[in-house]
Amino acid sequence: MNAIVTVVGQDRVGIIAAVCTKLAGYHVNILDISQTILQGSFTMVMAVDVGAASAPFGELQSALAALGEEMGLSIRIQREEIFNAMHTI
Amino acid sequence: MLNQKDILSTIEMIDQQHLDIRTITMGISLLSCCDPDPVRACEKIYEKITRSAERLVRTGEDIEREFGIPIVNKRISVTPMALVAGASETEDYVPFALALDRAAKTCGVNFIGGYSALVQKGMTKADEKLIRSIPEALDRTELVCSSVNVGSTKAGINMDAVALMGRIIKATADATADRDGLGCAKLVVFCNAVEDNPFMAGAFHGVGEAERVINVGVSGPGVVHHALQAVKGQPFDVVAETVKKTAFRVTRMGQLVAQEASRRLDTPFGIVDLSLAPTPAIGDSVARILEEMGLETCGTHGTTAALALLNDAVKKGGVMASSSVGGLSGAFIPVSEDEGMIAAARAGTLCLDKLEAMTCVCSVGLDMIAVPGDTPAETISAIIADEAAIGMVNCKTTAVRLLPAPGKTVGDTIEMGGLLGSAPVMPVHPESSADFIARGGRIPAPMHSLKN
């Protein structure tokens, strides 16, 4: 099952490293990363495969949100279907 | 492959433009709960609802978390209770409402609809007993919603029922006077009521429906408003196209959630209701969309035309995004639940007569409108009759949910809190309609009801 991780907030050293380490810890495979600075904000979108994740989706979500809080960022993970439904026919 | 812009735009819609799924409503048939013994019938009702909807709230929350989209309400609708209670040998129907309330609380839903009677052509004894019990039922329950269908394009308007409902609305306001007449916020009078409406207070599970069904109501006035801000000053063709595209996206999300809920709850998917349902939050208002089209204040000249365009474009955009569209499907204009409507009513620009005109071109009708506490029952009945006539002649659903505010008058405000919002008391015409309502009988169905 694929999901989308989005990270938005103030740029700083080590964001990608921290998020990737957290994901690796849960055995989540990263399929694609795109990152940019949008209107001064660090913005990263990752496509990930959570099929082999070592924890349920809810737990992974809480862990990422907690990491976000620690780093002053908004980090969320959502199932990919919602974006497909809204933006593709 | 999804692009970053699309992903971020979805997140912005959810975070900043109040995009949400307004409700997942499980419809449950209670026809199998009929029993001559009312106590036994209530037990069966409680048992069936709690068994059928046991996982509804939890499943809704799971979907909410995994997809990252808020699902504001989880609700239940049931078979019109007059049809179920009619089998029991009792004069007192309030215990049926109490059973619904208990079941709703056990399931954790925030409303249960279906304390209802369908009397468009005539009233059975059960219908009348149910209607007369509404004030006490709504006073003694918290989560039960009630609706009465008094007219249809096929049957005409049952003016005896219209007269009775004026008195029932007043009695409900009096019974709940300590809560600003809150009971009336849970009572809707319909013409051409639909059987698969997921929205409260008018939801019930029609007799033509399956044993259980999942219906979903989407929302998104904030998203439409935001999209229209990007096409300022452009012709209406552009406005309509923009609304359609936005409605398509919003509905696709509703369809996804509906299918997911249906699969997880092992319950057939019924419909997606394509309604623009506002909330009292800033940035989630239908009135502000109309103003974005170029009106200084909602309610001024041009408002009906703006709403007609909006209502039509929402349907056209949404209909291709869902495999099954139903319910009310259109723009809602509940005054107390819409920040822009509240402001327009306070300013005196939006009046009852203009709202009535607006109901000719949108879904539903005069909704969540506070009127003075001393408004005569006959005047309320006459307002219902006008609204039912609009529905009957135009083959559409119309409804009246008026809030006579006990002890209050024009200039006062009633506060209901939460999604129900607050409502400035609006003036009604002081001239009497009493002799008109006293006639009773039935207004015949219009010529175009004879389609066969």
d(CA A38, CA B187): 49
Residue B2 lies in a domain: no
d(CA B279, CA B21): 12
Residue B309 lies in a domain: yes
Residue B151 lies in a domain: no
Range of the domain at A75: 2-87
**Contact between chains at A45 and B66 (C-beta distance less than 8 A):** no
Structure-token pair, residue B126: 């059960």
Residue B404 lies in a domain: yes
B210 touching A (Cβ < 8 Å): no
B11 touching A (Cβ < 8 Å): yes
**Contact between chains at B7 and A76 (C-beta distance less than 8 A):** no
Print pLDDT tens along chain B (452 aa): 678 889 988 988 988 888 899 999 999 999 999 999 999 999 999 999 999 999 999 999 999 999 999 999 999 999 999 999 999 999 999 999 999 999 999 999 999 999 999 999 999 999 999 999 999 999 999 999 999 999 999 999 999 999 999 999 999 999 999 988 999 999 999 999 999 999 999 999 999 999 999 999 988 899 999 999 999 999 999 999 999 999 999 999 999 999 999 999 999 999 999 888 898 888 899 999 999 999 999 999 999 999 999 999 999 999 999 989 998 888 899 999 999 999 999 999 999 999 999 999 998 889 999 999 999 999 999 999 999 999 999 999 999 999 999 999 999 999 888 878 899 999 999 999 999 999 999 999 999 999 88
Q: Which residues contact B405 (CB under 8 A, 6 or more apart)?
A: B173, B180, B181, B370, B371, B372, B373, B412, B414, B423, B425
Domain total for chain B?
1
Three-state secondary-structure class, residue B435: helix
B70 touching A (Cβ < 8 Å): no
Residue to mutate among A50, A82, A84, A88, with most B CBs inside 10 A, is: A82
d(CA B234, CA B240): 11
Residue B231 lies in a domain: yes
Structural contact between residues B22 and B221, judged by C-beta atoms closer than 8 angstroms: no
Strand B366-372, strand B398-405: pairing: parallel
A78 touching B (Cβ < 8 Å): yes
**Contact between chains at A43 and B252 (C-beta distance less than 8 A):** no
A7 touching B (Cβ < 8 Å): no
Q: What is the pLDDT of residue B1?
A: 61
Q: What is the pLDDT of residue A40?
A: 81
DSSP B320: T
Strand A73-79, strand A41-49: pairing: unpaired
Q: What is the pLDDT of residue B97?
A: 98
Single-letter residue type at A9 = G
Element (H, E) at B77: strand B71-78
Residue B70 lies in a domain: no
Query: Which residues in chain A are contacts of B62 at CB distance < 8 A?
Result: 58
Which domain CATH number covers B224?
3.20.70.20
% of chain A at pLDDT higher than 90: 88
Domain total for chain A?
1
Single-letter residue type at B158 = N
Q: What is the pLDDT of residue B248?
A: 93
Element (H, E) at A38: strand A29-38
B249 touching A (Cβ < 8 Å): yes
Residue B324 lies in a domain: yes
DSSP B183: G
d(CA B277, CA B287): 11
B66 touching A (Cβ < 8 Å): yes
Which domain CATH number covers A49?
3.30.70.260
**Contact between chains at A87 and B10 (C-beta distance less than 8 A):** yes
Q: What is the pLDDT of residue A89?
A: 82
DSSP B413: E
**Contact between chains at B256 and A80 (C-beta distance less than 8 A):** no
Three-state secondary-structure class, residue B169: helix
Structure-token pair, residue B195: 């059987």
How much is the CA Rg of chain A, to the nearest whole Å?
A: 13
CB nearest to B6's CB, from A8, A58, A83: A83
**Token pair 């010529």: residue:** B447
In the structure, how many helices (H) and strands (E) does chain B have?
A: 15, 13
Quote the ipTM score.
Answer: 0.88
End-to-end Cα spacing for chain B: 51
Residue B259 lies in a domain: yes
Single-letter residue type at B394 = N
Q: What is the mean pLDDT of residues A44-62?
A: 94
pTM: 0.93
